[in-house]
Structure 1
Amino acid sequence: MHVFSTAEARRGLGALLGVIGLQGALGCNTITGVDALSFDPCATGFSDLTVTEEHGSDGGSAFHDACPEGEVLVGLRGGVNGLVLSGISGICGAVRLSETSPVEITVTPGEAMPTVRGVMSSEEAESRLCPPNEMVVGFGGSTFLYDSNNPRPIFWRVSLVCAPLVVESLSGAPSLSLGETTSTPSLGGADDKGDTFDPIYCPENQVARAIQGRSGLLVDALGLGCAELSLVCPWAPTASEE
Structure 2
Amino acid sequence: MHVFSTASARRGLGALLGAIGLQGALGCNTITGVDALRFEPCAPSYSSMTVTEEIGSDGGSAFHDACPEGEVLVGLQGGVNGPILSGISGICGAVRISEASPVEITVTAGEAMPTVRGVMSSEEPESRRCPPNEMVVGFSGSTTLYDPNAPRPILWRVALVCAPLVIEGPHEAASISLGETTSTPSLGGAEDAGDTFDPVPCPENQVARAIQGRSGLLVDALGLGCAELSLACPWARSGSEE
Question: What TM-score do you get using the length of structure 1 for normalisation?
Answer: 0.86
Output aligned runs, 1:114-133, within 5 Å.
Answer: 114-133=114-133
Name the aligned partner's letter for residue 89 of structure 2: S
Q: Partner of 1:51 in structure 2? A: 51
Corresponding position: 1:89 with 2:75: no
Cα displacement (A) at 1:131: 0.5
Q: Partner of 1:5 in structure 2? A: 3
Q: Partner of 1:240 in structure 2? A: none
Name the CA shift for 1:87/1:15 in 2 (closer, same or farther; >3 Å). farther
Cα displacement (A) at 1:46: 0.6
Cα displacement (A) at 1:18: 8.0
Cα displacement (A) at 1:40: 2.8
Name the aligned partner's letter for residue 117 of structure 2: R
SS at match of 1:23: helix
Cα displacement (A) at 1:14: 8.4
Larger CA deviation: 83-92 vs 40-49: 40-49
Output aligned runs, 1:65-104, within 5 Å.
Answer: 65-104=65-104
Corresponding position: 1:197 with 2:197: yes
Corresponding position: 1:224 with 2:228: no
Name the aligned partner's letter for residue 5 of structure 1: V
Name the CA shift for 1:19/1:186 in 2 (closer, same or farther; >3 Å). farther
SS at match of 2:39: coil
The unaligned stretches of length 5 or more in structure 2 are 237-242
CA distance in 2, matches of 1:14, 1:218: 61
Counting matched residue pairs gives: 229
Cα displacement (A) at 1:95: 0.7
Name the CA shift for 1:15/1:46 in 2 (closer, same or farther; >3 Å). farther
Q: Partner of 1:159 in structure 2? A: 159
SS at match of 2:99: coil
Cα displacement (A) at 1:211: 0.4
Name the CA shift for 1:96/1:111 in 2 (closer, same or farther; >3 Å). same
Q: Percent of pairs identical after alignment? A: 79
CA RMSD, 1 decimal:
2.6
Q: Is the 8 A contact 2:29 2:41 kept in 1?
A: no
Question: What TM-score do you get using the length of structure 2 for normalisation?
Answer: 0.86
Name the CA shift for 1:18/1:133 in 2 (closer, same or farther; >3 Å). farther
Q: Partner of 2:239 in structure 1? A: none
Deviations 1:47-88 (A, max 9, x none): 110000101111111110001101000000000010110000
